[in-house]
Structures are given as structure tokens and as C-alpha cells.
Amino acid sequence: MKTIVYNGMLVTMNENMDMYPAGYVAMEGTKVTETGSMEQLRQRYGDVFSTEEGGEAGIVWEDACGGIIMPGMVNTHCHMSMVPFRGLGDDCKDRLRVFLLPMEEKAMDRELAVLAARYGICELLLAGITTVMDMYYYAGDIAGVMDTAGIRGIAGETVMDQATCDAKTPLEAMDKGLEAMEKYRDNPRVSVCLSPHGTTTCSREYLEQIYRKDREYHVPFTLHTAEMDYEMFYLKETYGLGAVEYLDRIGVLGESTLAAHAIQVSPGEIEVLKKRGASVAHCIGSNTKAAKGVAPVKRMLEAGVPVGLGSDGPASGNTLDLFTQMRFCANFHKNELRDRSAFPARDIVAMATRWGATALGLHHVTGSLEAGKEADLVVVETDSANMFPVYDPYAALVYSAQAANVKTVYVAGRCLVKDKKLTEMDLGQVRGALAEKMRRTAFRDQGLVKF
């Protein structure tokens, strides 16, 4: 069955940055088969697309109604299962130790992680995100949720030197992760990786072991890097190195390495990232909310380091959508650089799509709309009050659009959002199941459940 989405402003985000003020995308099976202008569509099919019954048999016509047709967005760093912690102690200086870690220890289990991940996936899809790099616990179970829900994703099994909610030791976490990695090794949309928590929360021995295993399975090696003040102090005092320098010194910085945050990196370390072919997940929303600073992304991009956008977890950045991140990225970096012309909108859209896919090693699969790639496609409507007029679709996506403007979402040719509603999941039921589970946990005991 062929589906053709037409009559929209098409931003392909391909290498040539081809854009059609009035264009179409054809999909068949899981792949994009054609892109082009409405004039080319008429030459190929005539005017039959204007009626539901017209045209070649076996073609589904979907009118974008003048909206923006774009690739599905790529969230390069997320903790979906932390949805229950959203809004806890948002203005507390030490919220990690005061709120998050204690509640995680008391409340998080497999059932809560799965239900929260399912809710997180709903939020991602409704915001036009078709690919997510998630990092939490119970990775095998989370991968199962991704697979059933239809999203494209990588589920990272967090490994720490200390006991976690799903493993008493690092080796136990690694064994669970490896089992899941093998199970999803040949899945076309979903994979699993081992994810060390950070440069100082996972020993050198385990960092090296995990890096080897992730490379063996051709999945990203991702960890929190150069994010925390205490992390930087420890590495400098112990080794006389920055976080990126440390990763390079121990041999775990390479083309599969995705450094999450990378806020406190020196110009020299940016050159090291480039030299090793490593990538960065930029989480501007959570970083600035936590007053951790603004990563030197302009220098990274100028050096040729692939940078994608990440929402971080809902406990850190409150939202999982990338429209928020795109706007924050523009505003904070322009302000830091005192340059309104810095970070043009189309580059920021690229960070949310093609460059994000590159950071995850999925550039050959997704991130742009072009023949042969997976049919991960989003239509952003332009009928709402905030979306008129549209002079430049890139600028509209960065400065005007919101998650609520996402009308249609396809992943691998499968329509998962239509007319702003999930097609295969009931958000009310998903939310109700999560709320009911939270009422059976420490969230109720601590007097936090008010729903």
C-alpha cells in the first residue's frame, strides 16, 4: 500500500536541504519512495489526488492542508520512565538528593518503569518525535514497550558502581542489558545498549567493558559527560583531566560515543571529540533550568562534531518535546553569543532531525525525507492561531510551533498519530494505569499523590 502526503510545505532535511513550498512525500511499506513538488506530483499522478476515490488503486492520499511536512524528530537523550518525578522540587537546589534519588529508591520497580515509559512514548509521539535514545533501568522491558508502541528507539540499560532499582551490582545490570541486546539485535526499529551512568559513577573497568560490548552490537555508547561540577572537580583532582580527556585517555571515545550534556568542555576537548568522531546530545532545557550552564555548541558545530537535541528526563526538563528545546537552543545561544544571527533556524531544525540521527548512528535510516530512508514523517499544522503567517517553515518550527501543532505522525510508514490523537494507544487509559500504579507506591505514602 502506498501513502502519499501532499499539499504541504516540505522540508526534507536532506544533505542539500531541499525544500518545497508546496510538496509531497510518497511512502510504501516502511520506506519513503518519492519526494517532490506539487507540480511533479501532478505530472506523475494528474489531478486525481484531489478526490479520495481517484487515482491509482492502492494509494492512500493524505492532504497536509498547507501544513509543514518534515522528518520525524530525534530525541538523543531521554529518561522516559521518570515521568512520575516530573515537577518534584523543581526549585530546590539539591533536588537530586532531596527528592529524586530517595523516591526512585522507594518507588521505582519494573511495573512503574514500564507504565511510565508507555506514557513517555505517548508524549513523544504526540510531539512529533519518532526516534528516542532512552537511558534508564529495565531496558529489556522498555525496549518491549517501544516495539509494541511503534516508536523507533534505543533502550539503554544504566550501569552504576552502586546498586540500582533493577540490579544489585554492575555485573548484574550488564548481564540483564546483554540479554536484552541479544533479544533485540535484529529488530528493525528497536535496539538495546549498555549505558554507563557517567564518567565518575561507573569505574574505568566497567566503562571499558561496556564500550567494547556496545561496539560489538553496533549501538551507541552513551553516558552523562562534563555535566556536574563535582564530576569535573573529581576528574581534575584525581587525573588532572577534563571529562572528555578522561574518556579519551581510557580509550572509550570513538565514533559510537554519544556524550550527553557536554557542558563543561574545553576548546581542546572539542577537537578531541572531532578527532575521535564522537557526538553530543545537547539538553539545553534541563541544563539551563538547573543553572549548569550552556554547552559550547557553536564551537562543536564549527569543529564538525555531530550535535543532536535531547529533552533529558521529565524530572529534569519537565517536557519531552523538542519544540521547547529548539526554541531554548536559539534563545540561549544567541544571548550567550550576543548575536541574533547565530544558530539560524534551519540548523536548529537539523539538530532536531538529521544531525540527531547522525549522533545516534542512524543517519542512513532516519532524520531526513528522501527515497530509501525509513518513512518517519510528521505533519505540523498551520491552522492554529500561533502558526500564521508562515514566511519561513524553519523559523516557524523553531520560534512559533508547539507540540500541540503536531497533526500527523508516521514511524516506518505506520500512522501513529492522526488529527492530533494517538491511533493505537488511548492516552487516557495509559495515564490512568500510571496514576493507579503511583497510588500503590511511595508516592502515596509521601503524600504526593493528589490525582
Mean pLDDT of 42-51: 75
- pLDDT tens digits, one per residue of 310-357: 999 999 999 999 999 999 999 999 999 999 999 999 999 999 999 999
Which of the four pLDDT bands, split at 50, 70 and 90, describes residue 174?
Answer: very high
Judged against a pLDDT cut of 60, whether residue 55 lies above it is answered with no
All cell numbers assigned to 7: 499539499
The top-level CATH class assigned to 2-70+367-419 is mainly beta
Specify the pLDDT at position 89: 80
Mean pLDDT of 362-376: 98
Phi/psi at 74 (nearest 5 deg)? -120, 115
- pLDDT tens digits, one per residue of 57-82: 679 999 999 999 999 999 999 999 99
Are 128 and 156 in contact by the 8 Å Cβ rule? The answer is no
- Buried residues in 129-166 as b, exposed as e (16+ CB within 10 A): bbbbbbbbbbbbbbbbbbbebbbbbbbbbbbbeeebbb
- pLDDT tens digits, one per residue of 271-305: 999 999 999 999 999 999 999 999 999 999 999 99
Judged against a pLDDT cut of 70, whether residue 380 lies above it is answered with yes
% of the chain with per-residue pLDDT over 90: 89
Specify the pLDDT at position 95: 72
Specify the pLDDT at position 54: 46
- With the C-alpha atoms ordered 447, 448, 449, 451, is the resulting torsion angle positive or negative? positive
Residue located via cell numbers 545498549: 193
Which comes out higher in pLDDT, residue 101 or 413? 413
Residue located via cell numbers 564522537: 278
Query: Largest alpha-carbon pair distance within the chain?
Result: 71
Spatial separation of the C-alpha atoms in residues 178 and 198, rounded to whole Å: 19
**Dihedral angle over CA of 369, 371, 376, 381, nearest 10:** 50
Are 320 and 120 in contact by the 8 Å Cβ rule? The answer is yes
- Report the candidate in 146, 144, 150, 156 with the shortest Cα–Cα distance to residue 79: 156
The CATH fold assigned to 73-359 is TIM Barrel (3.20.20)
Q: Where are the domains of the chain?
A: 2-70+367-419, 73-359
Are 412 and 152 in contact by the 8 Å Cβ rule? The answer is yes
Specify the pLDDT at position 80: 98
Mean pLDDT of 131-140: 98
Specify the pLDDT at position 50: 54
Q: Is 261 left (phi over 0), alpha (psi -120 to 50) or beta?
A: left
Specify the pLDDT at position 372: 98
DSSP 201: T
% of the chain with per-residue pLDDT over 70: 96
Specify the pLDDT at position 258: 98
Specify the pLDDT at position 88: 83
Q: Alpha helices, DSSP H only, in 224-344?
A: 229-239, 243-249, 267-276, 284-289, 297-303, 322-337
Specify the pLDDT at position 105: 81
Mean pLDDT of the chain: 94
Are 88 and 99 in contact by the 8 Å Cβ rule? The answer is yes
Specify the pLDDT at position 53: 47
Residue located via cell numbers 495515564: 431
Mean pLDDT of 31-37: 98
